[in-house]
Structure 1
Amino acid sequence: MASGEQTEERAWKRILDNNKGAFLILFAELVGASMDAIARFLQLGGRSFHPFQVIFARMSITFILSSLYMWYTKVPDFPFGKPVVRGLLLTRALFGFFGLWCLYYSVHYLPLAEATVFRFLVPIVTAWACSLLLRTSFTWKELTAGIVALLGVVIIAQPAAIFGHTPDTPHTGTPIDAVTPRQRILAIAISVLGVLGASGAYTMIRVIGSRAHALISVNYFALVSTIGSTLILLLTPSLSFILPHGFREWALLILLGILGFILQFLLTAGLQLDKSSKATSMLYTQIIFALAFDWGIWGVLPGMWSCIGGAIVIGSTLWSALQKQEKPVKGTVKKADEETALLGAQAGDTVEGVQRRDLRISGVGTI
């Protein structure tokens, strides 16, 4: 009996050891979905925090924690990075700030699952942008996947000019019921714009490469988002800071910032440990967590057309991400850039192979 228990324990330990990276990525996606759920809850709660105040709460705390960690661990070139890449880091941060605002705006009017689906367009758009700026390859398969994914977006949006009827928004006695077709279409349009923001951020990360530590890039993003959201809240007459009331609101706002910092570590560690296609697959589990939060908190489940469109988007981008390198290029990677560091360069990886794999995976986890 004892021998059987030891054998079972060894089997479980072997499973955990072999899939440690995948489990970390899975946990990272749960953290990411939790952050989106908290942001949506704060906006739809009794006092309706504005998206810019939610961004301020998340990014100010992330900035403080990230700065303390880099100071304690003596990260090279902290806090501003090398002078040659500071402009690129600032551009990356501006793109990220815009993409994050688009995300938080969209979750005010869309279920989490729908808002999450649009993020899966980011790797394809990033690959296309890098093909223009960095002369990386952009294959016909990636182009086809992008066109099919856009078809999925159209099916989710269900424009009246094509479908001729009101979109099948869920009706469950929740604030979603108050969303008009016009607000829904606008939220979807802003989600698509957010894809451009996130893709711009990841393109800049590829341009920066190994010239800046990953956390310095995150810190620029957090600082710009904190300053930007503060200025908008102070200078816009119709907007203002709402002081959190009670323990729950304080706890949620603080938790949002802490989770943002934890997400960076989990995603980085998981992608370092898992160098296989399992990493890509696990990144897509966020949609499952989003569906669970939609149903558990708001009692919302997507309509039929939203499910069909979402499946098309996820299927086409996942297919693109799992494609193998067709033509190896001479020369191996000797020094990893930020995205390669997330994945861990494998022996025998080619320059183009690593770049294409990175582009497919980047953007699925977080901005």
Structure 2
Amino acid sequence: MDSVSKNMDRAIAAEGSNEEEFDLSSADSSLVIATESRIQRISREYLKPNIGLVLLVVSQFFNSLMVVSTKVLETDEVGEDEEPIKPLQILLVRMAITYIGTLIYMYCNRSTIQNVPFGPSSMRKWLVLRGVTGFFGVFGMYFSLLYLSISDAVLITFLTPTVTVILAWVVLREKLTRMEIAGSVVSLAGVVLIVRPSFLFGTIVEPSGAVESEDPKQRLIATIVALIGVLGASAVYIIIRFIGSKAHAILSVSYFSMIVTIISLFGILLIPSMSFQVPKDPKQWLLFSNLGVCGFVFQLLLTMGIQKERAGRGSLMSYTQLIYAVFWDVSLWHHWPSFWSWLGMIVILTTTIIVGKFKPKQDTRTAVVPLPDQEVALSGTNYEHEVEHIPLDEISK
């Protein structure tokens, strides 16, 4: 009897243990299901509706890595008989690597990308224009890094959304409000605080070393070139938005990198004071390689993000560059922005937020890009019909 009783007790204990294991297993399964459902809900409600913005934020991180690499290459200490590496050479190396990457990507995905490597014939002139305007945009940034800190150079690019709205008014015949005009003027005042011209501020000497120039004339020249770059970057937003899904995103990157490579090469060959410089040490080779890889990833994610997001709203994501810029300035060069730079930063950011908040009610008219009739006939594409679905104020959101 005792043995039978013991066996029954063991059976009951084993059954209880199995029930506990089953309960634990069920609890674990429920936890996994709950976690998956939570992730799916976050993805459905937040990530997917804003995937364009996410792509743009990530692209700006890779852009910041390029900016840092450029700054180091342009200001790196060299010997007495050697000159720092010029912006055109940096662009040449970066874009050549990026173009090779785009070709490899396109030929490996020919089944999903049409008309490799030059894209649809009806879009080629717009892709070329995207490359030319893109050159001015990127050269403006690279040149300004010679004489401005990363945070100041990046801050000037924050004028891009404002200029984009104005350019949309000119090109897309979009309504331009008084608030937007006033915001543009105030934003330019913020740029003046960054430039700090001597005729307004006198001579301001700030210990900055290789981080930024103390010469007001050099800062002014750098700022003017940077503003030209802002205009080019704004044009890129308009053109890519116009192209939309009519050409694969990688084609935009391909044309951009190809045209910038060609312009940079001819610039180095034709400008007497310039010559091609070979990297001197592993550090410079690494920085050049980083430029090419990050440039490819940045342009691809940027173009994909813009195509999935409205141009004005998407261009606002460029403001994440400020966080990256200040971080790199402080962590690598131990350089905090000056009082005037902080003030200019506040002016530009505040103005942009106010202008974005007080938008006019959406105009139900359609935006039409005027094209000569012969261009439409030759291309066989009705561009006006394709563009008419874009609301007039869509690019400013």
Instruction: Indicate the TM-score class for this superposition, using the shorter chain for normalisation.
Output: 0.7 to 0.9
Equivalent residue runs for 1:16-35 within 5 Å? 17=43, 18-20=45-47, 21=51, 23-35=54-66
Using the alignment, how far apart are the partners of 1:181 and 1:302 within structure 2? 16
Equivalent residue runs for 1:1-367 within 5 Å? 13=39, 17=43, 18-20=45-47, 21=51, 23-47=54-78, 48-74=84-110, 75-163=113-201, 165-167=202-204, 170-172=206-208, 174-176=209-211, 179-268=214-303, 282-324=317-359, 326-329=361-364, 351-353=389-391, 356-357=393-394, 359-360=395-396
1:108 aligned counterpart, secondary structure: coil
For the pair shown, the structure with the greater C-alpha radius of gyration is 2
1:284 aligned counterpart, secondary structure: helix
2:159 aligned counterpart, secondary structure: helix
Q: Is residue 268–residue 274 contact of structure 2 (8 Å, CA) maintained in 1?
A: yes
Q: Is residue 281–residue 318 contact of structure 1 (8 Å, CA) maintained in 2?
A: no
Q: Unaligned regions of 5+ residues in structure 2, if any?
A: 1-23, 79-83, 368-387
Q: Give the aligned residue type for 2:60.
A: E
Using the alignment, how far apart are the partners of 1:204 and 1:24 within structure 2? 19
Q: Unaligned regions of 5+ residues in structure 1, if any?
A: 333-349, 362-367
Q: % of aligned pairs identical? A: 31
Question: Post-superposition shift, 1:207?
Answer: 4.6
Using the alignment, how far apart are the partners of 2:245 and 2:37 within structure 1? 39
Give a deviation string over 1:253-302, Cα, whole Å, max 9, x none: 11111111111343455567788x99666442110110011111112111
Give a deviation string over 1:32-52, Cα, whole Å, max 9, x none: 111111111111113421101
Using the alignment, how far apart are the partners of 2:307 and 2:280 within structure 1? 40
Count of residues paired in the alignment? 339
Identify which of structures 1 and 2 has the higher relative contact order when contacts are C-alpha pairs closer than 8 Å and 6+ apart: 1
Using the alignment, how far apart are the partners of 1:170 and 1:5 within structure 2? 57
Question: Post-superposition shift, 1:54?
Answer: 0.6
1:136 aligned counterpart, secondary structure: coil
Using the alignment, how far apart are the partners of 1:109 and 1:15 within structure 2? 47
Structure 2 partner of 1:339: none
Q: Is the deviation greater in 20-29 or in 69-78?
A: 20-29
Give a deviation string over 1:107-134, Cα, whole Å, max 9, x none: 1110111111111212222222232222
1:65 aligned counterpart, secondary structure: helix
Q: Is the deviation greater in 49-58 or in 67-76?
A: 67-76
Question: Post-superposition shift, 1:224?
Answer: 1.0
Using the alignment, how far apart are the partners of 1:208 and 1:170 within structure 2? 46
**Normalized against structure 1, the TM-score is what?**
0.80
Judged with a 3 Å threshold, the aligned counterparts in structure 2 of structure 1 residues 162 and 296 are, in CA distance, closer, same or farther, namely same
Judged with a 3 Å threshold, the aligned counterparts in structure 2 of structure 1 residues 11 and 323 are, in CA distance, closer, same or farther, namely farther
Q: Is residue 136–residue 352 contact of structure 1 (8 Å, CA) maintained in 2?
A: no
Q: Is the deviation greater in 218-227 or in 9-18?
A: 9-18
